[in-house]
A and B are shown apart, each in its own frame.
Chain A
Amino acid sequence: MEGRPRDERELARRAQRGDARAFEELVEPHREIAFRVAYLITRNPTEAEDAVQEALLKLWRTLARFRVGAPLRPWLLRITANEARNRRRSSGRLERLTLRAAAVSSGEAAPSPEEAAVAADDRLRLLAALEALAEPARLVLECRYLLELSEEETAAALALRRGTVKSRTSRALAQLREAYGSRA
């Protein structure tokens, strides 16, 4: 594992000594990804926000156990995902992922209006197929491809072994390919 950036190590040391400002700087780069992981699990922005808030405080309280130089992000994602799983409501409407309006209407990468329309339709169908997968398959693909988490980070977030992430990703891609259509 490559070493962490020098300033992250310094921030971690300062945060471990109780420097709350250093803690803020330390976690700021991971704020958005932590929220999105929590959102993918809870499918509720308020629950996701609560999960991350609580995760940050748990991180602060347990920071003394953090090994300076180790990557912070997997640890934060693991705590955040745990909190998110605890908060996920069994009842109530779960939000579905949607595409940005521009992505649906413009087909940004397509050279002609016809191709743009086809590209936009493909994106909608792909997202619908992804959302229709069983949750374990859906989450592993969303972590790996929509959030671009590494296998290690995905394993931390989903409380899986790294080998399980690899095999589950492979199976989930096969399921998605079948659902999306043979053209993929």
Chain B
Amino acid sequence: MSNASSVLYRYNRFMGIRKMSRDESTMEYVMKLLIQVLINFSMGLIMALFIFICGLWGIIKSYQANPLTALAFFIGTSCSAFAFVSTYLFALFGAVAGGVYGVAKVAETNARIGQGQRRQNVQNHPHHQ
């Protein structure tokens, strides 16, 4: 097994690749997949942020800037990159949470309508009580 595939294998074992089991509902499976996608995006982007910050000093050094300017640029750029990545992740998590909230709200409304109809049926046929 090559090094890259071994790392991927270990990552997959850690994150838990699996198919939908008989005991879980589709909703449960979709939710777990969504969480996994969010974790993957968080890990990928946070890793990208760290690698970018590590390589940033090399770029700044090639401009032969004085140490103070270089440090100011380094701190400013690192903060900007962090702000952008965190905003992106926040928007991503927000979109998923909003979608899940919307689906749950629709399900809740449907359940309430169903209950109302059942109650009405019981009232219309008193001998069922």
A and B co-occur in one complex: no
